Amino acid sequence: MKEHTQISKFLSLILRHKPEQIGLQLDQEGWAKIAELIEAAQQHNVPLDEALLQVIVEQNDKKRFQISEDGLMIRAVQGHSTNMVQRQMIALEPPQYLYHGTASRFIDSIQTQGLIAGQRHYVHLSENKETALNVGQRYGKPVLFLINTPQMYKNGFEFHQAENGVWLTIHVPTQYLSLIDQTKTGSLV
């Protein structure tokens, strides 16, 4: 439904990047009071209510949002760029294979400086090749990088997993990256 997509994009903007745009305050873990979010959204002509919010959270295919157990708060689970949010996440041992999908135009930059978080707090990685490729398609012709997570972890890099399954790390240096050649059924380049 088009309205749901627009509201989901609005929530991503507000809960991940620009809460100040509607005068919303997030806590350090990214939580906002649902009542305050709804009131602020309505003041900015965004038709939001609790029922619609619940549907969007439940139906979001990427599980980007989380409602607190008491039902009073909401947050984006990852992808933050606002300095209001500094989530304290538990470091976990990553799976053997993690992937990063991006557009082919970024290959040279990535092979020079590695994967960097940019404006976000973390680099986003996926356990699933298809998911990573879908992310890459949003930005152009997709390419896929394989991350040498066992070696990174052994060398002291921290990994975290958001509630929606996305793996997060601060930086992936070039020595831990391998470009996968999609034309040859996933072989390394």
Burial 170-189 (b: 16+ CB within 10 A, else e): eebeeebbeebebeeeeeee
Within-domain flag for 88: no
Same domain, 57 and 104: no
Same domain, 115 and 44: no
Same domain, 45 and 105: no
Mean pLDDT for all residues in the chain: 92
Residue 125's alpha-carbon distances to 41, 70, 83, 148, in angstroms, are 31, 30, 21, 12
- Calculate mean pLDDT across residues 157-183: 92
Same domain, 59 and 113: no
- Residue scoring higher pLDDT (119 or 65): 65
Within-domain flag for 84: no
Total domain count for the chain?
A: 2
- Calculate mean pLDDT across residues 101-128: 93
Distance (Å, whole) CA 84 – CA 54: 24
Same domain, 51 and 123: no
Q: What's residue 188's pLDDT? A: 56
Within-domain flag for 59: yes
The fraction of the chain above a pLDDT of 70, given in percent, is: 95
The CA-CA-CA angle for residues 57, 92, 182, to 5°, reads: 75
- Give pTM, 2 decimals: 0.77
- For residues 104, 142, 165, 6, the Cα torsion angle rounded to the nearest 10 degrees is 110
Same domain, 7 and 42: yes
Please tell me whether residue 2 adopts helix, strand or coil conformation: helix
Within-domain flag for 109: yes
Same domain, 65 and 33: yes
Same domain, 68 and 123: no
The CA-CA-CA angle for residues 132, 152, 180, to 5°, reads: 35
Q: Strand pairing partners for 102?
A: 143
Confidence of residue 3 (pLDDT cuts 50, 70, 90): confident
Domain boundaries, position 164: 97-180
Q: Residue 98 corresponds to which tokens in the numbers above? A: 């993690």
Span 141-155, pLDDT tens digits: 999 999 999 999 999
Same domain, 50 and 120: no
139, 97 Cβ separation under 8 angstroms = no
Q: What CATH number is associated with residue 165? A: 3.20.170.30
**In the predicted structure, residue 184 carries a pLDDT above the cut 90:** no
Span 94-111, pLDDT tens digits: 999 999 999 999 999 999
**In the predicted structure, residue 17 carries a pLDDT above the cut 70:** yes
Q: What's residue 62's pLDDT? A: 83
Same domain, 18 and 58: yes
Span 27-55, pLDDT tens digits: 999 999 999 999 999 999 999 999 999 99
Same domain, 104 and 176: yes
124, 78 Cβ separation under 8 angstroms = yes
Same domain, 112 and 71: no
- Residue scoring higher pLDDT (187 or 133): 133
